A = this chain, B = another copy of it.
């Protein structure tokens, strides 16, 4: 496996290997499995967890990292093929990626959706282009459509909490947010739960159904794994017997790239779609609350949930480091001595 662009890039066997290694590394975090290895990190968008957990993952295993942040100390970068570069961007990823790859054994790249054209973003063409430009192993640190390192960490979190694969009830719920957000996290969370064989419900208001391309792919995964996917606007129904609620906001696909219209559709949902403790009445008593972070408190989720015993968001974030450490060791196949 040269590239990890999507959870689907890991075969079942390799996924098991990575999850098992992640558990072992959680118990003994420091080692030299990456001695002599350099991991380059390119962030086209802001980051806290990914930035810190990737660096810690690599250096705790004896490797080293460098970070490049276009627009914050580094040149702004152009991504469009054939662009006539007379604007702000001084460098094209067609140079930046192969150049940085020469300084590293593996590159990790974050590049969010542009949010203008739905089909374009759902194709996730840019991260695939960057991976092709990179002759070294390549890890997606969140692209237009996928956040597979988050999906790995989420999977491990559900395992840690002994939430069942078969028969586990997983709710992916839309939540209000002041901006129209991309599909990367909901898409990856959905595919993760589907592949884990869970019974998944997508809970969202009218007008905020996930795009057909996202749902169809997740349903195909669920079919293979023996799980199921349904969607509904009925919170009571969705939460009934749930083991876990995963909250995330995403754009209305009908008004994708039309911020004013999208905001008008979203505006009246503000209070109704902030996750509160009352949402969990129909769930299992110890149902868990998950979120990829960062989260806007009292906008997407009330303090009472985040600060209460259901919330496992800190553990999810902790698992980012363990999962990425395992992934990179698996991808690089040991240290260089």
Residues of A within 8 A of B (CB): 30, 36, 38, 40, 43, 46-49, 51-53, 55-56, 59-60, 64, 66-70, 72-75, 78, 82-86, 90-92, 94-96, 98-100, 102-104, 178, 293-299, 303, 306-307, 313-314, 317-318, 321, 336
Contacts and interface: CB of A to CB of B under 8 A. Distances in A.
A100 to B, nearest CB: 6
A297 B59 contact: no
Given A38-B59, A94-B297, A99-B317, 16 more contacts: A30-B36, A46-B75, A46-B90, A47-B74, A48-B91, A51-B66, A51-B68, A55-B64, A56-B103, A59-B66, A69-B72, A86-B299, A90-B294, A94-B306, A95-B295, A102-B318
A83 B321 contact: no
B297 A83 contact: yes
27 contacts: A36-B60, A38-B56, A38-B59, A48-B96, A49-B99, A51-B68, A52-B68, A52-B100, A56-B66, A67-B73, A69-B73, A72-B72, A72-B73, A73-B73, A82-B298, A82-B303, A85-B299, A86-B299, A90-B294, A94-B297, A94-B306, A95-B294, A95-B314, A95-B317, A98-B314, A99-B314, A102-B314
Contacts of A75: 46-48, 294
A336 B68 CA distance: 29
Interface of chain A, helix or strand or loop or mixed?
mixed
Contact of A103 (B52, B96, B104, B336): B52
Given A38-B60, A60-B38, A74-B51, A294 B91 contact: yes
